[in-house]
Amino acid sequence: MNCIKCGREIPEGELFCAVCSQAPEQREPVRRPAPAAQSRPSDARKNTGARSAERRSSKKGPTVALVLVCLLLAGAIGYIVLSHGRLTVEQNRLEARQQQLEQRENEFAALEQSKEALSAQLETANDSIAILEDEISKLERQLNESQSNVSQSQYDLTSQKQQLDKLTGEKNALEEAAQLLQEQLTSLQTSYAVASEKANFMDSYVVFVNNDGSGLYHTYDCSQFKRDSFWAYSRKLAQSNGYDPCPQCQ
């Protein structure tokens, strides 16, 4: 670009050169050179050096500002990328913990159902054993009475003996089934105890924050805890993240 007043070359974005932009009282009066005088090479070099210094000085300011803007922009982008990375890691960790919690809850429910079913089967088997024992006792009394009665026919004695043997075999089979059910119930109770210990551990050290902006953490059994959208934290992590305890369950 050129100065709009004198035509000298000036930096981009400027309207006047360094000479024309000075106040009128600072300018030197323009003197016409004598016809016979010629400019010396040293004066020409001085004028050229002055113009170059003016150009460098005028270009230096926008360059420094541009560098500062680039540095600030790079710092902001780096902070955004770092914050997003940390948020992604924390979200993945919480999702994994939530899946583990749901899996343990399902396992606990399945064990509870199996325990109830086996308990019902064992109770039914014990009732059947009691009935058979009562019938066996009656048959034994009848057999004793039959044996003491010489008038009792041998056919009746043999029939009752066969019936007694049959009922005794059924009783033994039911006792074996009851023993198997008892072993299964014992194993299930052991699994139930382990699951209960895990559940107690989760209740003691894991809290839940509803995704509703309330800022409170709850236990699993809290009436204020919503199970459709939540975050799972350890109690200390929830406190360090600024969440407050629920006044109903904490």
Of all helices (H) and strands (E), which one includes residue 216? strand 216-218
Q: What is the CATH number of domain 67-245?
A: 1.10.287
- Give me the pLDDT at residue 48, please: 56
Q: Which residues, in sequence order, are CB contacts of 192 under 8 Å at separation 6+?
A: 111, 112, 115
Q: Per the structure block, which two tokens stand in for 21?
A: 């932009």
Lowest mean pLDDT among 2-11, 47-56, 110-119, 170-179: 47-56
Band of the pLDDT at 41, cuts 50, 70, 90?
A: very low
Gyration radius (Cα) of the chain, Å:
50
Q: Are 207 and 239 in contact (CB under 8 A)?
A: no
pLDDT at residue 60, as a whole number: 61
**pLDDT score recorded for residue 210:** 94
Distance CA 17, CA 21 (A): 6
The pLDDT score that the predictor gives to residue 26 is: 46
- Backbone phi, psi, residue 97, to 5°: -65, -35
Greatest CA separation for the chain: 176
CA pair distance 65, 3, nearest whole angstrom: 24
Split at pLDDT 50, 70, 90, the class of 184 is: very high
pLDDT, one tens digit per residue, over 98-136 is 888 888 888 888 888 888 888 888 888 888 888 988 888
Instruction: Give the whole-number percent of the chain exceeding pLDDT 90.
Output: 20
Q: How many other C-beta atoms can be found within 10 angstroms of the C-beta atom of residue 218? A: 23
Could you count the other beta carbons within 10 Å of the beta carbon of residue 207?
29
State the Cα–Cα distance between residues 111 and 193, nearest whole angstrom: 10
Query: CA-CA distance, 44 to 52, in Å (whole number)?
Result: 12
Q: What average pLDDT does the segment 74-88 reach?
A: 81
